[in-house]
């Protein structure tokens, strides 16, 4: 991920995902944020029929998202915000680089300052079928 539109597209894909774990680790004189998530695999939805009824089944999977080259981090917990009001990821260009916001559904928020966008996303688990 090197473009603001990459982050926007990923944010759409991660809509409704849960943030299982977040780690800030040192990396080459800067920091990197490693997020472990569980997301719905909407690209693998299928319709299941039970007699006259139809039901959409969506598998879930574990995934990992990493952002490198972080120069500043602010972490806070928002208490007065409904979880559906803010997307999991938001990014904007600011003077001197980018500001990336990671908003967990429980109100935990990371605001990252980066000189340039450098991130990687991948599914790391096998799909888990919904009951």
Per-residue model confidence as pLDDT tens for the chain (131 residues): 888 999 999 999 998 899 999 999 998 889 999 999 999 998 888 888 877 888 888 899 999 999 999 999 999 988 876 656 678 999 999 999 999 999 988 888 999 999 999 999 999 988 887 65
- Note whether residue 15 is domain-resident: yes
In a domain, 129, yes or no: no
Give me the phi and psi of 28, to 5 degrees please.
60, 45
Domain count for the chain: 1
**Which domain range does residue 109 map to?**
4-123
C-alpha distance across the termini of the chain, in Å: 33
> Residue 86 — φ and ψ, nearest 5°?
-125, 135
Contact predicate 61/41, CB 8 Å: yes
CA distance 14 to 87: 9
Domain annotation covers residue 130: no
């Amino acid at each position: 991920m090197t473009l603001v539109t990459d982050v926007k597209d990923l944010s759409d894909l991660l809509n409704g995902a849960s943030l299982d774990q977040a780690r800030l680790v040192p990396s080459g004189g800067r920091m990197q944020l490693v997020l472990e998530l569980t997301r719905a695999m909407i690209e693998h939805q299928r319709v299941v029929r039970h007699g006259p009824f139809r039901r959409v089944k969506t598998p879930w999977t574990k995934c990992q998202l990493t952002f490198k080259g972080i120069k500043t981090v602010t972490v806070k917990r928002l208490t007065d915000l409904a979880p559906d009001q803010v997307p999991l990821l938001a990014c904007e260009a600011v003077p001197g680089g980018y500001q990336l916001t990671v908003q967990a559904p429980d109100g935990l928020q990371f605001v990252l300052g980066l000189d340039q966008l450098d991130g990687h996303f991948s599914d790391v688990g096998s799909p888990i079928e919904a009951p």
